[in-house]
Every structure is written in C-alpha cells, then in structure tokens.
Amino acid sequence: MPCSLRSKIISLSLCIERGFTQSFETIQQHPSLPFHNSPTVPSSNRQSGSKRHITCTQFPLKILKTQSALNSQQQRSFKSTRRLHTNLYPRQLVLRLSNQAKRFSTALSAPFKTMDRSTSDCPTQQSPSDEENSPEVSDTSSQTTAASTPSQTPAVLANQLAKYNLTEAILFQVQDALIELAEAAGTMMVNAEHAILNEASTKNNTSDLVSDYDKAIEAMVQKRLNEEFPDFGFLGEETYQHGQKLTDSPIFIVDPVDGTINFTRGFHNFAISLCLAIDKQPVVAVVYSPNLGKLFTAVKTHGARMVNELFVPRKKPGPNAEDVFVPTFKTKLKTLPEYRLPLAPISPPMPSLKKRLIAIEWGNERKGPNWDLRTDVHTKLLTSDEAGGKMILSCRSSGSAALDFCYVAAGMFDAFWEGGVWVWDVAAGWLIVEEAGGIVASANPGDWQPTLEGRTYFPVRGAKREEQEAVVKELWEVMGDRKFVYKDKKKPDDGTVSAAETA
C-alpha cells in the first residue's frame, strides 16, 4: 500500500476511534441536524436531501452514510469480509475502520428505525459477535489482557510526537519501511549463513566473514533509512562510535544480526532488530527471524503482533551459481496473517516464580562478580523448595536477546532476566513486550524504571499487574543486595560481547 494512501487511512481510523464518543454526544445535543429532523423523515430525503455536514471532530459522513444504508444481506457480507481481512496486514487499520464505522453508522441510523428515540440511548454497545471478532478494540477493565497495561496513552504519545512535528501516521510509514528492510535483510542473512557454513568447514575462525555480513546488512539498512527519513538519527551496532549516546530526537536503533553465534553455527535462532526511538523511548519496533519465519512488530499504543511466515521448500545449495541458497517466500510478509500478542486470549495466572519458564543468557564473561551473580541466581531458581530454591519450571537460553524479549511478549517465556546486553539488542523487543501487556523492570533490585542504555533488563509477560510485580520482587529477593555492574560503554569490537550473543 502506498505510504500516502496509508497515511490517509491511518488518519481516518484515528479520527473515527478517538472522536466517536464526543461526536455522538454532539449529535444527541443537536436534534435539528438533518439526520435527526424526525423519525419519520422519508428515506429519500435522508439519502439525497440537505448537504449539511455534522461539524464534530471531522467525521467522514460519506463512509458512515454508505455503511448505514447497507441492507441486511450487505451487512452479512460486510461482516464476513471483515472476518477475512482483519487478520491481514495492516490489521489495526482495517479493523479500526470497519468496526468503528459500523458502530457509528448504527448510532446514526437508530433514530430512523423506530419512533421511540430511547432506542439510541446506548448506540455504541457491541454485540457479542463483534466482540468475538475484534477483541483488540473492545474496551476492557480486566487486568489479564494485553490492553490492560498500556505502555503509554495516545494523548501522551501525540504530545511527544508534536515536539518534532510528527503525527502517528509517520509511525506506520516507518513500520512499513522497517518490515521491507527486515525482509531484504532476511534474504541476505540466509545467503550469508550458507557461505559461512561452507567457510567454517575449511577454516577455524569465521568471525571476519560474519563481521563482513553484519556490516553489509547494516549499511543497506542505513542507506535506505537515510533516503526515506533523512531527518532521523541512526545508531547501529556495527557503526557505533565510542561515547555515542541516544538522542531525544527521532533515531533508528539497529542490530543487523542478533544472535551471532547461532548465525555462525547454522542454529536458526537469530534475527534482525529494528527500532525507532523518540525521547529515548521505543515507538516502532520490528524483529524478524528469517529462518524461523517469525516477524514481530509493534507501534506505540497500537499493540504488538506476530506474523508466522509460510515457507516454500528452498532449493538445496549446489555447485552452480544459480543454486545459491536463496529463500523463496510464498508471499510477502505484509500479506500474511497476523496474531495479536500475547498469543493466549487471556494470559495465564502467574502467582509466583514457581513453575515459571525463565530465559537466562550466559555471555563470555566467565569470572568475576557478574558471573558469580548470574550462576548463583540460576542455581537457586532451579533448586527445589526443600533445598531453599524457587523451583522454576526451567531455564531457556536462545542466544538472541531480541528474540527472548519477543518470546516473553508472545507468552512463550514468562520472563527474561539479563544483564550486559546493549541498547540495539533490546530496543525493539522492549516495545513489543510493553505493547503485549508486559512490563520491563531492571535486572537489578529496586529499579522499576530502567533506561534503554542501562544494560540490565527484566521483561515479564502480560498478566495482572500485581502478579508481574510479585515475580519481579521474588527474583530480586534471590539476588539480595547484589547487582550487575558494568563499566561505561566500550566499542563492541574491543572484545566486550553481550551475553545474549555468546550463548
């Protein structure tokens, strides 16, 4: 979808969603408007009469009037079409347009269906079928759903964007661009993986070759982002300069290959992590693992989603150039079904650390206080209650911090306790966790508001807020008064490697 058309659709959807309540109240207070002259106004006059418009928060009446004029057969067709298309990218746009337009048109047409104006007292109530088909837009007070713990309100986000003369429409344009870049980078990764595996069979060290591919992917991403968004900054793992900091102004944060060891060994758990941050907070996130066929995305205040890619069998590598190990996608990422995160409609209870699945990475720092803390906490988490431990279900080490965050967001992991990773490893995953109803505390005790550059993180999946906080506090108790301590940032190629990348 062209960016200009997408921007118009986004603006329309936001207008419908946020102006609905206020607009309906305005209509109720102005019975002299054409739609409310009389319950007995002839239908011909209603459809082709006065061209006066409702002057309340810029509602597109043509769409609403057209929708309200649908007969019952068309309404059934409309609902069937909505069921089909709300799972397709971009789900949030199609769903918001169709659902809100239908609800508002029902409110407008209610006075004409009966002589009794009281039938329109509750025009915005959703039917059970609507709630079943579109749970993400129905308001709920339950604290067990993703929507119960929003990371930021729309009004706060709008003010944040306004400081830089931006609107929410630009966030979806950025998301589109990042998804396209992730798909292009995914093809480069798969081709590179084959070359690296061939190289590994003849040489002992493939680090130089891996670095070349990392740099090539990051250079491609940076070039395209600079062309499309020249006013935004850029912070990448491969181009990071000693002392470089995040800025308050819009900046892209990029890790071209997160999970480098997995990448070199042919283990499929690696990904590209792309993020846009404003005021040092992530607002758009894309994490894509080409070999796993999973794409995770999030836009601030609009939820998080996962695309489960459909692969066509790939051609096996051969001696000829045309037999290069290139992935052939059955269809583009943007047209594949999306799943709202977390994957479970209602997050399971999480009363304590016991029987929880926790992700922990290891790194190459195998001595000193940070290592002692990591191994001691790991041992206590796995030890039985009788021996003074917490007896969690198990630990997982995926080798990619970006994917660990995404697995927490999806509900596959209950939490991820980590110290030592870099901002480019976690920026995108952080937003995806929050938009899926999770929280991100610090891995160090007492810090409920970690920063992107803090290097200690403890994301917890969606659940009741008191349960999330209880899990965090319980793990902090295991740590006691000990904390991860990391010196000022050094350039990544000086030998300092994040824990998640060396698992």
- For every residue of 449-479, DSSP letters joined together read S--TTSSEEEEE-SS-HHHHHHHHHHHHHHH
pLDDT at 336: 78
Q: For CATH 3.40.190.80, list the domain ranges present in the chain.
A: 357-479
Is 199 known as a binding-site position?
Answer: no
Residues 168-198 pLDDT 10s: 999 999 999 999 999 999 999 988 877 776 7
> Cβ(428)–Cβ(275) under 8 Å?
yes
Residues of the chain with pLDDT under 70: 1-151, 197, 199-209, 310-332, 488-503
Which residue bears the tokens 């000693």?
A: 242
pLDDT at 17: 53
- What are the C-alpha distances in Å from 399 to residues 264, 316, 339, 403, 503? 12, 26, 24, 8, 5
> Cβ(325)–Cβ(197) under 8 Å?
no
**Element (H or E) spanning 25, and its range?**
helix 3-29
The CATH number that domain 357-479 falls under is: 3.40.190.80
- What predicted TM-score, i.e. pTM, was given to this entire model? 0.68
Amino acid at 452: L
* Among 209, 269, 274, residue whose Cα is nearest residue 413: 269
Is 376 known as a binding-site position?
Answer: no
Residue 190 neighbours by CB distance under 10 Å: 17
Q: For CATH 3.30.540.10, list the domain ranges present in the chain.
A: 155-312+329-340
Beta bridge partners of 233: 251
Is 418 known as a binding-site position?
Answer: no
What one-character DSSP code corresponds to residue 352? Answer: S
pLDDT at 48: 38
The correct CATH number of 155-312+329-340 out of 1.10.10.10, 3.20.20.80, 1.20.140.160, 3.30.540.10 is 3.30.540.10
Is 258 known as a binding-site position?
Answer: yes
> Cβ(319)–Cβ(356) under 8 Å?
no
- Extract the tokens encoding 330: 């059955």
What angle, 0 to 180 degrees and rounded to 10, lies between the N-to-C axes of helices 465-479 and 369-382? Answer: 120
> Cβ(396)–Cβ(454) under 8 Å?
no
- Extract the tokens encoding 400: 């990619």
pLDDT at 121: 39
Residues 24-66 pLDDT 10s: 444 444 444 443 333 333 333 433 333 333 333 333 444 444 4
> Cβ(403)–Cβ(289) under 8 Å?
yes
